[in-house]
Each structure stands twice: as structure tokens, then as C-alpha cells.
Amino acid sequence: MQIKGVLFDFSGTLFRIESVRSWLRAVLAEREVTVAAADFERYARALEAAGALPGGPPPQHVPARLASVWATRDESAELHREAYTGLARQVALPDPGLYDALYERHRSPAAWQPYPDAAEVLGALRESGTRIGVVSNIGWDLRPVFRAHGLDALIDAYVLSYEHGVQKPDTRIFHTACTLIGQDPADVVMVGDERRADGGAAALGCDVRFVQHLPVEERPDGLRMLGLAPGVA
């Protein structure tokens, strides 16, 4: 196929969230909360098991009281915050203000790092005239993350689930993205890391290609290997 447009997922595809320990350490320092090393490790392990870090490890168990919120968490900013702060509150932290502070931290550009080949692949697509969109299941505005890391100028359109009230794999979100980049789905590739969510684009007629959701240092060329742009492989 001749690729005229590429849609990218955000978390685990173009960017990766910091580790749970880095996330917790940054917030404790910001709020000037000191904990013993053993307690820090205990909090970090419990938050990781709870799945409290958006973009991090999924929850090992979602409490029944949060099940409906969890299922629709990416359809609004309010649901997203409720879901993740609710998971975090399963862990008894030493300062009640930490739960909201942890949520705010994950929305900051400092908490995210682009994959090593993201700028190269996006730049090559831009240079070739290929239209580029970002399609994300998310509850907050990720545009500042792209701006802070110098990638915003390479993106033609953002389609964020909370702004449209619909989340992947619903084909409506992919249809909106294809419309915004001005391309027929048959000429568009969707790139993501989640088979179910990102794979929903196939029902619309898009080609779908996957990368592995790995730490940044473990995936130096996952995007480059997809053969999306001429001269980049």
C-alpha cells in the first residue's frame, strides 16, 4: 500500500511513562515528605500492583467499586482521575495529599520520555508528505508533552478520547482521526502497542502495525523497524 497517513498511539508507542519508583520519588520530594527506604519500597510495590500509574503496569485487580469507572476511564477527564486516584487510594500513603499529587505528576512532560527513534520516524514521515495523527485513550491533554519534547510541530492532528467521549477500539475515534488528517482509512496505518485497543482501526480499513510496550532503553528502534517512511528501517 502507499502510506498517505499514519496514526500513532501515545503511551507505549511514541512515549513511555517513568517508572513507578521515579514517579513516587519525584512526588515525595516535591511535597517534602520523607519516608524510610523500606517504606518507600513498600509503597512503590503496592502502587505498582494497584496499577495506579497511568501508562505503567496494569492493575493486578480492579476493586468492584471501581469496575464501571475503570471500563470507561478514558471517556472523560473526571472518570480518568477518579479511576487512577481510586486505585492509588488502595495504598495507605503517609500524606493524604499524595494521591492527587501523584496524578498531577503523571501529566507533566517531565514524567514522559520519547522513544529513541520517535523524532527520526516522525520527521521522515513529515518530510515525505505523510500526514500524521495521534490517537490516544487518555483523560488529559497530552499536547504539552509533545511540545516540551520538540515533537508537536510534526503532528497534524490529535484525537484524544476524553475530548470526544469515545475510546479505542471504537471505530469512531479512528474515523475522526482519518478525517482530520484528510486521508481514506485504506491509505492509513495505525501504530500502537495494544492489540485490542489499537487493533480496532482494522475494522475501519486501516493497516495496523504494533510495537512492544517496553522501557525506552529496551526499545531503541521499534518504530524504525516498521518501515513507515522511505529510507527509515
> How many domains does the structure of the chain reveal?
2
> Would residue 71 count as lying in a domain?
yes
pLDDT in tens, 17-60: 999 999 999 999 999 999 999 999 999 999 999 999 999 999 99
Shared domain check, 144 and 35: no
Shared domain check, 139 and 63: no
Shared domain check, 214 and 149: yes
Alpha carbons 35 and 131: distance in angstroms, whole number: 48
> Would residue 232 count as lying in a domain?
no
Whole-number pLDDT of residue 233:
65
Stated pTM of the model: 0.95
pLDDT in tens, 70-110: 999 999 999 999 999 999 999 999 999 999 999 999 999 99
CB 79 within 8 A of CB 72: yes
Full residue range of the structural domain in which residue 193 is found: 5-16+113-226
